[in-house]
């Protein structure tokens, strides 16, 4: 099925590689484990936000914006990549970060935000963009033309990036593996547009398998379940792409049992998944998202929720720069 193509700015290296993880697959006792290397999208350290930003920034430019504004945790990959996109296009970037200004020299993503020239604002207990509208109003009052990118880049434009990613994967599978033979895909799921976009893309390419989101956050948005949020995002994305399909919360599989002590708190499951993947495959995962998602995948295999004869695909969504800020929790 063809979707409407949207204005897009080139920021990354696509298609990202599709690779085998044979030693990890053997260790876990499954037939085949593939990894889609979206950590290699190329924009200032790469990661899933590059795909979202290609559509979001195109919209910002069309509206004459001079400043990208977004929010996240101090170690947000989304903020780092937004800062890089802004730098690349000669825009300014304001990041509203959870927490207080650090007293020690910045590290990990925060160091990169600084190198990329972002203006940092600190929002104490708020890391999910609760104060973004005030910042945008203040910038407008100061004569600037800000473009608000929601927390995680998760709106329909951002999700369109992952609908396209699934189509890219379908094209790439030709000859390497049959898309229909991939029993399930596993992806870290937090602000939602990655999983929602993949599910829309799965509809477009008629992918018959499961897309399993591993929830990263303990808390949900008040008044709405996470799967309702995903369905809303997917429906907005389908509409944007002129695709006549309605999604319901039942179209989304989200495993909530791996959130541990909450967002950004590294536990034994993440530590072990990061170590195992590094030592068996020379592949680095991150402490907040992909370490948790791989920990979930390993447990699902151990519990036989994912069968031993299956071919499984792991979406590596990036985040490696955060490793350096989590040294104490990792070793
Ligand atoms: C490395 C990484 N993986 C996965 C995610 C989750 O993607 P989404 O917010 O679209 O659910 C993020 C989001 O910040 C991320 O930085």
The ligand 1 atom at the shortest distance from the C-alpha of residue 190 is 11
Residue 7 belongs to some domain of the structure: no
Expressed as residue numbers, the domain containing 130 is: 49-153
Q: What is the pLDDT of residue 2?
A: 66
**Does any domain span residue 179?**
yes
Q: Quick one: 172 and 86 in the same domain?
A: no
**Does residue 159 share a domain with residue 107?**
no
In order of 1, 4, 203, 247, the CA distances from 238 in angstroms are 12, 10, 10, 9
pLDDT at 3 > cutoff 80: no
- In this structure, the answer to whether residues 126 and 86 fall within a common structural domain is yes
Closest among 299, 316, 225 to 260, alpha carbons compared: 299
130 vs 144: which has the higher pLDDT: 144
In a shared domain, residues 77 and 222:
no
Query: What pLDDT is recorded for position 64?
Result: 97
> Do 161 and 204 have their domain in common?
yes
Pocket test for ligand 1, best of 287, 317, 319, 326 (most atoms within 8 A of CB): 317
Using one digit for the tens of pLDDT, what is the confidence trace for 33-55?
A: 999 999 999 999 999 999 999 99
Cα-to-centroid distance, 153 and ligand 1 (Å) = 9
The predicted structure's pLDDT at residue 129? 76
Task: Please identify, among 132, 153, 174, the residue that sits at the C-terminal boundary of a domain.
Answer: 153
Task: Please state whether the peptide bond connecting residue 289 to the residue before it is cis, i.e. omega within 30 degrees of 0.
Answer: no
The overall pTM is greater than 0.85: yes
191 is catalytic: no
Give pLDDT, residue 1. Answer: 67
Distance (angstroms) between ligand 1 centre and the Cα of 123 equals 20
Which of 101, 118, 153 represents a domain boundary (last residue)?
153
Identify which of 20, 25, 30, 21 has the alpha carbon closest to the alpha carbon of residue 304: 30
Convert the pLDDT of each residue in 189-226 to its tens digit: 999 999 999 999 999 999 999 999 999 999 777 789 99
Cβ atoms of residues 322 and 44 within 8 Å: no
Whether residues 140 and 201 fall in one domain: no
Contact call for residues 252 and 199 (beta carbons, < 8 A): yes
Residue 90's pLDDT band, with cuts at 50, 70 and 90, is very high
CATH of the domain at 97: 3.40.50.1100
pLDDT number for residue 123? 87
If asked whether residues 300 and 162 sit together in one domain, one would say yes
Residue 30 lies in a domain: yes
Same domain, 128 and 171: no
Task: Examine the domain organization and report whether 187 and 264 are in the same domain.
Answer: yes
Calculate what percentage of the chain has a pLDDT beyond 70: 99
pLDDT at residue number 193: 98
Number of domains the chain contains: 2
């Amino acid at each position: 099925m063809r979707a409407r193509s949207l204005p897009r700015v080139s920021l990354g290296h696509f298609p990202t590689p599709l690779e085998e993880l044979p030693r990890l697959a053997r260790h876990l006792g499954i037939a085949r484990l593939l990894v889609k290397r979206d950590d290699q999208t190329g924009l200032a350290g790469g990661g899933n936000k590059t795909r979202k930003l290609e559509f979001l920034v195109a919209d910002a430019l069309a509206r004459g914006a001079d400043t990208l504004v977004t929010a996240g945790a101090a170690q947000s990959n989304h903020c780092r990549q937004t800062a890089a996109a802004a730098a690349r296009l000669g825009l300014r970037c304001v990041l509203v970060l959870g927490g207080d200004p650090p007293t020690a020299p910045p590290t990990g993503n925060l160091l990169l935000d600084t190198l990329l020239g972002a203006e940092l604002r600190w929002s104490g207990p708020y890391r999910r963009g609760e104060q973004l509208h005030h910042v945008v109003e203040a910038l407008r009052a100061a004569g600037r033309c800000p473009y608000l990118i929601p927390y995680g880049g998760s709106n329909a434009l951002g999700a369109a990036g992952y609908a396209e990613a699934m189509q890219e994967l379908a094209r790439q599978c030709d000859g390497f593996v049959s898309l229909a033979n991939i029993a399930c895909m596993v992806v870290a799921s937090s602000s939602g547009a990655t999983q929602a976009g993949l599910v829309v893309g799965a509809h477009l390419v008629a992918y018959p398998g499961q897309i399993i989101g591993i929830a990263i956050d303990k808390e949900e948005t008040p008044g709405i379940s996470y799967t309702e949020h995903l369905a809303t995002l997917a429906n907005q994305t389908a509409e944007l792409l002129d695709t006549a399909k309605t999604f319901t919360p039942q179209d989304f599989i989200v495993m909530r049992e791996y959130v541990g002590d909450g967002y950004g708190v590294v536990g034994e499951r993440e530590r072990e998944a990061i170590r195992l993947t590094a030592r068996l495959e020379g592949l680095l995962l991150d402490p907040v998202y992909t370490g948790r998602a791989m920990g979930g995948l390993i447990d699902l295999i151990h519990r036989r929720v994912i069968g031993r004869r299956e071919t499984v695909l792991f979406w590596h969504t990036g985040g490696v720069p955060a490793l350096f800020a989590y040294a104490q929790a990792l070793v």
